[in-house]
A and B are shown apart, each in its own frame.
Chain A
Amino acid sequence: MPLSYYLALSALLFAIGAAGVLIRRNVIVIFMAIELMLNAVNLAFVAGARHWHNLDGQVIVFFVMTVAAAEAAVGLAIIIAMFRNRQTLNADELNLLRW
C-alpha cells in the first residue's frame, strides 16, 4: 500500500483528535482525544520508518508512548485534583487562567 494511505489515515485520526480536544466539554474525553492525536502521529512515524527503511521513526514512537504513559498518569491526577476542587469536569467552567 502506498505511503499516502497511511498518512491520510494518520491525518484523519489527528483531525478527529484535534476536533475532540477543541469541541468536547468533558475533560476526560478531551484527554482521550489527545491520546488519539498522539497515536495518529505514531502511525505516521511507523509508516514513514517502514517506507524509508529507517528505524528512527520506530524509536520516536516508543518515546511518544512513554511520554503518553507519563502524561496519562500525571494528567489523571490533575483531573482528580480539579474535580475535588471544583466538583465539575466541564472545561467551560475551568477558566481560572483568565487575567
Chain B
Amino acid sequence: MHDTVTASYLWLIPALPLLGVLLNATLGARLGRGLVAVVAPAVVGGAFAVSLVALTDLLGRPAGSALVNHVYPWIHAGSLQLDIVLRVDPLSAVMILVVTGVGFLIHVYSVGYMAHEPDYARYFTYLNLFTFSMLVLVLADNLPLLFVGWEGVGLCSYLLIGFWYTKDENASAGKKAFVVNRIGDAGFLLGMFLIYWHLGTGVHSFSFGEVAARVREIPLGIVTIAALLLFVGATGKSAQLPLYVWLPDAMAGPTPVSALIHAATMVTAGVYMIARLNFLYVLTPTAMTVVAWIGALTALFAATIGLAQNDIKKVLAYSTISQLGYMFLAVGVGAFSAGIFHLMTHAFFKALLFLGAGSVIHGMSGEQDMQKMGGLRRHMPITFGTLFLANLAIAGIPPFAGFFSKDEILLHAFTGVHGSVVLWLLGAMGAGLTAFYMYRLLFLTFYGECRAEAEVAHHIHESPSSMTVPLVILAVLSVAGGWIGLPAHWLWGNRFGEFLAPVFGHHEAEHVSAAVEYGLMAVSVLVAAAGIGLAYFFYVVQPALPMIIAWRAGRLYDLIFNKYYIDEFYDAAVVQPIHRASVWLWRVWDVLVVDGLVNGTASAVAANSGLWRLLQTGNVQHYALSFLLGAVAILGYYAWW
C-alpha cells in the first residue's frame, strides 16, 4: 500500500533513552548528580536529533513513503512471524518529534526543578525509561509491539506518580493510575486478540500494513467490537470517560512528570492508537460515533470540573482530560489529522502550562492552592509571560497554536461525515469554559494581592534558567506551532494535514463553504473571548463575586466542586463491593475452606500419627515382645498353613 524504505538507523531513537536508563540506573547513584544531569537530557536530545534526521529523510522521499527498520526477530511460531520492526511514517514522525522534543525540554527543566531531590538518579532513570517506552509505542509497526510500549508507559507512570513513595497519598495515586489503566488494557488486549483470531492462521507479521490490507476479511460486527474494545484501552490511557479518574490524582507526582506524562506523551497514546488504526475505525460508523461522543462529553465534562478546582495542578489535569476529549472528538468524526494536530499543539502549550505551574510551585515553596497565591506577576515575569501565551493558545485565540487545531476540530465536528451540530455545540461550550477556567487560574495566580503567608511571600523568586529557558522555547512553540496547519486557502494552507494525508487516506475530505467555515471560526473566537472576559470580570474586577455566586449556586457548586462525586460513586459502586467480596473470599473461602482443608488434612495425619506413636515406648522389652509375637505369628503361619 505504501512504499517502504529500509532505514537501519531508526533503532537509535529508542536505544538512546534506553542507554540513559542503563547508565543512570547502574552508575547514576555512584557518580553523582553531575553525570545524571548531563546524560539524562543528552540521550533524549540525541534521540531528537536522530528523529530530525528521520524526518528529513522522510521529507526527501515521495509522499506515502515510510521508513522501516527490522530490528530483531521476536516471536516466530507457526505462521506467525512477529518481529520488532520500527516504522517512521508521517504520523509516527510527528509523534517522535513531539515526544523527544518536548521530552528533551522537560528533562532539562527537571535538572533545575529536581535539584534538591535526594533520589536524583532514580528520577531520571524513570524519566528516560518512560521516554523509551513511549518511543517504542509510537515507532512500533505492529500492535503487539505497540502494546509493549503501551504497558511500558503505564509502568513508568506508576513509578513516577508514586515517585515520593513514602507519602501514602502519592503511593496510592500511583496505584490508582496503574489499576485504572489495567482495566483499559484488558480491553486493548481483547480487541487485539479478536483481530488476530479473525484474521486466523493467515496472519504473518501482524503489522499495521498487513492488518489494513486484510481488515475487510473480518466481519463488520467483529470489527466494531474490536474497535470498541481497543477504544476502552484508549479511554484508560488517555483518561476519558469513564476511566479518567486516575489523571487528577496523578498530579501527586513531580510536576515535570505531569508535564511529560499527562500532557505531552502517555495520555496521547490512545489518540495515537486510534489514528494509527484509522483504517479499522473508518469501517465502523458505530465505533466512530462512540469515540466522538465520548470525546465531546469528556471535553465538556472535565471542563466544568475545572471551573471550581483550587489546586493549580488539578485545574491543569482536568484541562488535559478536556483537551484529550477534543482529540477523540476529532478522530471520532474522522478528522484524524486534526486530532493529531491538536495533540501536537496541546503538547506544546500544556507542557508549558505544567512547567509554568511547576515554576510557580517552586517559587511559592511548594504551595499549590491558588487561593493562597496572587500577585506573582511582578516576582516571576518570565513564568508569567510564558504562561500568558500558553493560556492564549489553549483558550483558542488566533493566531496562537491552539486556535488552529481546536478550530479545525470544531469545524469537522460540525461538518464531518460523522459529525453533528450537537457534537459541535458540546465542543464549543467546552471551549468557552476552557477559556474561563484557564484565565481564572492565571488571574488567581498572577494578579491581585498576594494571599500567601508572609514567610512564603518573602521567598517568591523567579526560577533558575534551566527551568525558564524550556519555558521560553515552549512559549515560542505555543505561539507559532499552529502555523503549519492553517485553514485551507490561508497563505500556505494546511501543510500539516497534507503531510499526514498519506497515512489517513482521503476519507476526511469534505467540502465546506467559506461562510460556514468563517462563521464557526467567529463563533469560537467570540466564545473564547467571552470566557476570558468573564474570568477577568470575576477574578480581577470583582474578586468578591465568585464567592457570592458559589454561595448562591449552592448545591450545583458543591456538585462541581466535588467533581460530581464520581470518585465517591466509583468507590461505592466498584471499589467497595470488590473490597467486600475480597474480604469475604479471604475470611470464608481462604481462611475457612482452603486453610480448613489444608490444615484439616495436616491435623488428620497428625492425629493418626499420634495414635501409632503410642507403640513407640522406647522400652527395649516392649520391642522384644513385638519381635517374639511376630516370630510366633510367622511360625504359626508355617505350622498351620
Residues in A lying within 8 Å of B, measured CB to CB: 18, 21-23, 30, 91-92, 94-99
The reply on B628 being an interface residue by CB < 8 A is yes
Given A18-B628, A21-B624, A22-B625, the answer on whether A99 and B619 have CB atoms closer than 8 Å is no
Interface residues on B, range: 10 to 19
Q: Is the CB of B618 within 8 A of A30?
A: no
Chain B residue nearest in CB terms to A96: B618
24 A–B contacts, CB within 8 A, in A order: A21-B621, A21-B624, A22-B621, A22-B624, A22-B628, A23-B621, A30-B621, A91-B619, A91-B620, A91-B621, A92-B619, A94-B619, A94-B620, A95-B617, A95-B619, A97-B618, A97-B619, A97-B620, A97-B623, A98-B616, A98-B617, A98-B618, A98-B619, A99-B613
| 12 further interface pairs, Cβ-Cβ under 8 Å (given A97-B623, A99-B618) | A21-B621, A22-B621, A30-B621, A91-B621, A92-B619, A94-B619, A95-B617, A95-B619, A97-B618, A97-B620, A98-B616, A99-B613
Contact surface of B with A, Cβ cutoff 8 Å = 613, 616-621, 623-625, 628
In the assembled complex, how far is the CB of residue B586 from the closest CB belonging to chain A, in whole angstroms?
37
Q: Report the separation of the CA atoms of residues A92 and B625 in the bound assembly, to the nearest whole angstrom.
A: 14
Looking at A23, A30, A95, the one whose CB has the most chain B CB atoms below 10 A away is A95
Smallest Cβ distance from A38 to chain B, in angstroms? Answer: 14
- In the assembled complex, which residues on chain B have CB atoms less than 8 Å from the CB atom of A97? 616, 618-620, 623
Residue numbers in A under 8 Å from B617 (CB-CB): 95, 98
Residues of chain A lying within 8 A (CB to CB) of residue B623:
97
Report Cα–Cα, A98/B615, bound state, in Å: 9
CB neighbours (8 Å) of A30 from chain B are 621
Nearest CB in chain B to that of A24: its residue: B621
What are the residues of chain B within 8 A of A94 when measuring CB–CB?
619-620
Q: Which residue of B lies closest to A23 (CB)?
A: B621
Count, A-B residue pairs, CB within 8 A: 31
Report how far A92 CA is from B617 CA in the complex, Å: 10
Max chain B C-beta neighbours (<10 A), residue from A30, A94, A97: A97
Closest to A30 in B: B621
Within the complex, the shortest CB–CB distance from A94 to chain B, in Å, comes to 7
Complex: A37 Cα to B330 Cα, angstroms: 106
Nearest residue (CB) in A for B624 is: A21
Q: How far is the CA of A75 from the CA of B137 in the complex (A)?
A: 83
Closest chain-B Cβ to A36's Cβ sits at a distance in Å of 14
Q: Which residues does chain B contribute within 8 Å of A92, judged by CB atoms?
A: 619
Bound: A98/B617 CA distance, A? 5
Establish whether residues B616 and A99, one from each chain, have CB atoms under 8 Å apart when the complex forms.
Answer: yes
Chain A residue nearest in CB terms to B631: A18
B621 contact set on A, CB distance < 8 A: 21-23, 30, 91
Identify the closest chain B residue to A25 (Cβ): B621
Across the two chains, which residue of chain A brings its CB closest to B613?
Answer: A99
> How far does the Cβ of B154 sit from chain A's closest Cβ, in whole Å?
57
Among residues of B, the one whose C-beta sits closest to the C-beta of A92 is B619
Distance, CA A98 to CA B623, complexed state (A): 11
Q: Which residues of B contact A22 (CB under 8 A)?
A: 621, 624-625, 628
Q: How distant is the Cα of A97 from the Cα of B625 in the complex, in angstroms?
A: 15
In the assembled complex, the CB of A81 is this many whole angstroms from the nearest CB of chain B, namely 15
A51 to B53, CA, bound (A): 114
B628 partner residues in chain A, CB cutoff 8 A: 18, 22
CA distance A18 to B613 in the complex (A): 25
| A-chain residues with CB within 8 Å of residue B619 when the two chains form the complex | 91-92, 94-95, 97-98
In the docked arrangement, what's the CA distance between A91 and B613, Å? 20
CA A52 to CA B97, docked complex, whole Å: 111
On chain B, the residues within 8 Å of A95 by CB distance are: 617-619
**B613–chain A nearest beta-carbon distance, Å:** 7
Q: For the complex formed, measure the closest distance between the CB of B623 and the CB atoms of chain A, giving whole angstroms.
A: 8
List residues of chain B with CB within 8 A of the CB of A98.
616-619
For A99, the chain B residues whose CB sits under 8 A away are 613, 616, 618
Q: Give 9 nearest A-B pairs by CB, closest first.
A: A98-B618, A95-B618, A97-B618, A95-B619, A22-B625, A21-B624, A22-B621, A91-B621, A98-B616
Q: Name, among B618, B621, B623, the residue most crowded by chain A CB atoms within 10 Å (CB to CB).
A: B621
User: Shortest Cβ distance from A63 into chain B, in angstroms?
Assistant: 20
Q: Which residues of A contact B616 (CB under 8 A)?
A: 97-99
Closest to A34 in B: B624
In the assembled complex, the Cα of A91 lies from the Cα of B625 at a distance in Å of: 14
Q: How far is the CA of A98 from the CA of B620 in the complex (A)?
A: 10
Query: Complex formed: what's the CA distance from A30 to B621 in Å?
Result: 9
A94 to B620, CA, bound (A): 8
Nearest chain A CB to B413's CB is how many angstroms away? 84
CA distance in complex: A30, B616 (Å): 20
Q: Closest Cβ of chain A: how far from B619's Cβ, in Å?
A: 5
Instruction: Give the residues in chain B near A23, CB-CB below 8 Å.
Output: 621
Bound complex: CA of A96 vs CA of B616, how far in Å? 11
Q: Which residues of A contact B618 (CB under 8 A)?
A: 95-99
* A33–B631 alpha-carbon span in the complex (Å): 18
